[in-house]
Amino acid sequence: MPHSRKVLVEILQVVLQVVLGLTSLLLTFLILLHKGRGGGLSDMFGGGMGSNLGASGVAERNLNRITIILGLVWFLTIVALGLITKFQAGV
Amino acid sequence: MFSAIARIFRTPDLRRKIGFTLGVIVLYRLGSFVPAPFVDFENVQTCLQQNQGASGLYELVNLFSGGALLQLSIFALGIMPYITASIITQLLRVVIPHFETLHKEGQSGQAKLTQYTRYLTIFLGVLQSTTLITVARSGQLFGASGTAECTQLLTDDSWYSLLLIVITMTAGTGLIMWLGELITERGVGNGMSLLIFTSIAATFPAALWGIQEARGFNTFLMVIAVGIVIMAAVVFVEQSQRRVPVQYAKRMVGRRTYGGHNTYIPIKVNMAGVVPVIFASSLLFLPSLLVQFNQPAAGEESAAWVTWVSNNLVSGDSPLYMLVFFLLIIGFTYFYVAITFNPEEVADNMKRYGGFIPGIRAGRPTAEYLDYVLTRVTLPGSLYLGIIALIPLVALATVSANQNFPFGGASILIIVGVGLETVKQIDSQLQQRHYEGLLR
């Protein structure tokens, strides 16, 4: 019985790793699709005058929603992987 | 003052914005405690315990990520790739004509430049996470003196798991960038700088308490008092500016008159901000990198120049290091001011709209005058930057604080700069509703 559980955990781990890899790539891609805000360095450490107006359109809003969901999945996968590693080390 | 704070929370719009900003900051801090996959959390923690305050190669970078770097968390790289990418795109303006034309194009060109910066950020994220993982794998992350735990920071070092860590950390970098942009868009202040602010402020309590534990309460209180004085001084200098008066000529267009008002061009004493300090410290990483690569094999005597370099240019308490640091900062201040403020451009713009400085002819004489004023105002600015940046090094020698001494160097400049900027933004939002603001 413990043996089969170990196999199950290993399968779960591999699946999670694949999910993590895919979500990471997708997340990076989606974030690059966003329109950049903020005007670089002079904006960052004082100096320039901030002028960031402009409403976000429907596309941007949907993109935001997808990114948030994907980010959550990404985060949960990492936490799950970490927990599995911890319990494996504990046993 | 206090009633103004109460009014902030009574304004629904502003309340929502501040709440959003705080929420994102909490997310950011949370993420910097989650270890990346395949990182041995317990080994990393014991290692961190052993190496409290040890000065490594990654001092500044670790400071900017709020200690997340050495914990090998998913946000390990923090905002650093974005900073580096912005610096690179800004400097490339001098080299690549295409970037300069984009910059002059105004809004749309700026958007394109931002887009380039973002691509470059992801690229740098891949590069830096690969470096970090390689260093962590070889056990050099905590210096060569690591114990057995420090050499086994990863639970699995097959190629695909290393690849997975790199991809994850890159995604983390992208996510931070996005979080920063979200703050800029919907919160208060500039997102990126607020995130840096958070990371630096997060290391304050630990650093201060470290001083208390090492030296007792008297030194602790003295350090806090000195810190407040320094902070007041920094606020004073950051706010000071020379106002060059500009008079706009009256123009009749049809039946309307335009112009005819007085304004001024503000020339700040410290126009360059923190950037020179960052430049100088990253340039001074090079000698210690050089020494690391030229470590002699066991039992061999190291070359004479290596010994000299590691004695004089690596640790912060040698006089030569301080001198070089100081001079570099002064040089970079002038360099950076020259990049960000172009007198000829300003003079041209003024001429186009019929403005002039009283007593000075429009066109070239104006540009020369502006250049003259700028050069003279920047001199105290650069000296001030150099002195502020030296404070942590002096503190290292006298109070035996570690190099991340909170009240000095890049950290205090960023804290004060970002704080002022954010307060000003909240202020202008309050004044939009005819309320008296926070600042007098």
In this structure, are B210 and B320 located in the same domain? yes
Evaluate whether residue B27 is within a structural domain: no
For the ranges B15-19, B75-79, B289-293, the lowest mean pLDDT is seen at: B289-293
Strand-pair category, B241-248 with B250-253: unpaired
pLDDT tens digit sequence for B275-314: 888 788 777 777 777 776 666 655 566 677 777 877 777 6
CB contact under 8 A, B190 and A50: yes
Domain boundaries, position B123: 32-187
pLDDT at residue A48, rounded to an integer: 39
Evaluate whether residue B10 is within a structural domain: no
In this structure, are B146 and B229 located in the same domain? no
Query: CA A52, CA B180: separation in Å to the nearest integer?
Result: 14
In this structure, are B79 and B180 located in the same domain? yes
- pLDDT at residue A50 above 60? no
In this structure, are B322 and B285 located in the same domain? yes
Evaluate whether residue B24 is within a structural domain: no
CB contact under 8 A, A71 and B185: no
Evaluate whether residue B72 is within a structural domain: yes
Query: CA B258, CA B112: separation in Å to the nearest integer?
Result: 34
In this structure, are B233 and B318 located in the same domain? yes
Evaluate whether residue B194 is within a structural domain: no
Give which of B160, B173, B112, B166 is closest to A28, Cα–Cα: B173
pLDDT at residue B396, rounded to an integer: 65
Q: What is the 3-state secondary structure (H, E, C) of B295-346?
A: CCCCCCCCCHHHHHHHHHCCCCCCHHHHHHHHHHHHHHHHHHHHHHCCHHHH
In this structure, are B319 and B241 located in the same domain? yes
- Residue found by looking up tokens 């000065």 in the block: B55
Instruction: pLDDT band for B330, please (50, 70, 90 cuts).
Output: very high
In this structure, are B404 and B291 located in the same domain? yes
Evaluate whether residue B376 is within a structural domain: yes
- In A, minimum Cα distance to B274 occurs at A45
Residue ending a domain, among B187, B221, B243, is B187
In this structure, are B80 and B211 located in the same domain? no
In this structure, are B167 and B218 located in the same domain? no
Q: What number is the average pLDDT over the span B81-97?
A: 85
Evaluate whether residue B438 is within a structural domain: no
Predicted TM-score (pTM) of this structure: 0.80
Query: CA A64, CA A56: separation in Å to the nearest integer?
Result: 10
In this structure, are B217 and B100 located in the same domain? no
pLDDT at residue B51, rounded to an integer: 63
CB B384 within 8 A of CB B408: no
Mean pLDDT, chain A, integer: 76
Q: Does A67 touch chain B (CB under 8 A)?
A: yes
Instruction: pLDDT band for A52, please (50, 70, 90 cuts).
Output: very low
- Angle formed by the axes of helices B12-31 and B159-186, nearest 10°: 170
**Number of folded domains that form chain B:** 2
Instruction: pLDDT band for B168, please (50, 70, 90 cuts).
Output: very high
In this structure, are B212 and B285 located in the same domain? yes
Query: CA B333, CA B1: separation in Å to the nearest integer?
Result: 35
Which residues are B154's β-sheet partners?
A: B39
Shortest Cα–Cα distance, B137 to chain A (Å): 18
- pLDDT at residue B32 above 60? yes
Instruction: pLDDT band for B353, please (50, 70, 90 cuts).
Output: confident
CATH number, domain of B280, equals 1.10.3370.10
pLDDT at residue B333, rounded to an integer: 92
CB B125 within 8 A of CB B77: yes
In this structure, are B315 and B379 located in the same domain? yes
Contact residues on chain B for A14, CB-CB shorter than 8 A: none
Query: CA B257, CA B373: separation in Å to the nearest integer?
Result: 32
Q: What number is the average pLDDT over the span B5-20?
A: 85
Shortest Cα–Cα distance, A1 to chain B (Å): 26
Evaluate whether residue B399 is within a structural domain: yes
Predicted-complex ipTM score: 0.83
**Backbone phi and psi for residue A44, each to the nearest 5 degrees, phi listed first:** -75, -45
